[in-house]
Amino acid sequence: MNRIVSTSLIGTAAVVALVAASCAPAFADGTSTPAPSTGKTLAAIQARAKTDTTARISALNTAIAKVTAAKDISASDRSTILGTLNGDVSGMNTVEAKIAADTTAATAAADFATIFTGYRVFAVAIPQARLASAADRLTSTTVPKLTDAQTKLAAALAGPDKAKSTPALLADLADMSSQVSAASTALNGVSAKALAVTPADYNSNHAVMTPIRTSVETAITDLKKASADGKTVLAAIK
């Protein structure tokens, strides 16, 4: 009986260990995509490389179009972003051609891995482009526009619309100013930080983009509050 029990326990433990071992890489990479190079034929690796590079080139071209069309991205950041995105398009074409020309599965597998580790198109290049764009939009347009609106509203409440001024409206104005200030603090240096992230940074720390995204999201939340404050005050003096 004890032997049966212990045998069952050992067997169960072995199954659990096997399941855990097979799942571990998927969780670590944040993906459940199996590695195509493991035990795959050269043709299979080449086919997968074609699919994966094509998907990345398509996403890169979409991002390039958006960055090119965006009006409130700084010229410097636009140049940096487009340099990275266009460089990655070129890189994808190069690595895909190399894999297509590979003659062994081992070489193709090694080249295949560089599609991910060498570029991190989805994990780094595109997110950093979009987050830097967001930070630029907020810094160059939202913050100054809300600052202008706050200044004009304060002047109106202190002058021609003084009769409509109330402690609540003045508190809204003060909060508007505070929210814009907080957003400016959150955005300080964010685009530069986003654009400084490299695939190597991501390879060693998969959460490297998280604080950058958090800063942008925090700024958006602050600026939405500031806008709501401004809207309240404006409605009161109309």
Amino acid letter for position 40: K
Query: Considering only residues 105, 131, 173, 186, which one is a binding residue for another protein as defined by CB under 8 A?
Result: 131
Extract the runs of DSSP E, i.e. beta strands, from the chain: none
Output the CA–CA distances (angstroms, integers) from residue 138 to 142, 182, 216, in the order listed.
5, 12, 9
Based on the shown chain and the rule CB under 8 A, indicate whether residue 68 belongs to the binding site for another protein.
Answer: no
Closest CA to 42 of 98, 89, 90, 118: 98
Q: How far apart are CA 23 and CA 27, in angstroms?
A: 6
Q: Does residue 64 interact with another protein by CB under 8 A?
A: no
Contacting residue, 46, 53, 57, 59, with another protein by CB under 8 A? 59
Least distance from another protein to the Cβ atom of residue 207, Å: 11
Q: Which is nearer to another protein, 15 or 140 (CB)?
A: 140
Q: What is the DSSP letter of 142?
A: I
In the range 20-39, which residues lie near another protein by CB under 8 A? 29-33, 35-37
* Contact status: 162 vs another protein (CB under 8 A): no
Residue for token pair 């080449």: 46
Candidates 87, 160, 189, 211; binder of another protein (CB under 8 A) is 160
Q: Which of residues 192-221 bind another protein (CB under 8 A)?
A: 209, 213, 216-217, 220
d(C-alpha 99, C-alpha 105), whole Å: 9
Binding flag, residue 50, another protein (CB under 8 A): no
CA–CA gap between residue 89 and residue 120 (Å, rounded): 12
CB of residue 68 vs another protein: minimum separation in angstroms?
A: 14
| Number of residues this chain uses to bind another protein (CB under 8 A) | 56
DSSP string spanning 45-88? HHHHHHHHHHHHHHHHHHHHHHHHH-SSS-HHHHHHHHHHHHHH
For 63-219, list the strands marked E by DSSP: none
Per CB under 8 A, the list member of 74, 82, 122, 182 interacting with another protein is 122
Instruction: Compare residues 5 and 163 and give the one whose CB is closer to another protein.
Output: 163
Tokens of 200: 């190597």
- The yes or no reply on residue 91 touching another protein (CB under 8 A) is no
Which residues lie near another protein (CB under 8 A)? Answer: 29-33, 35-37, 59, 63, 66, 70, 72, 112-113, 115-116, 120-123, 126-128, 130-131, 133-135, 137-138, 140-142, 145-146, 148-149, 152-153, 156, 160, 209, 213, 216-217, 220, 223-224, 226-227, 230-231, 234, 237-238
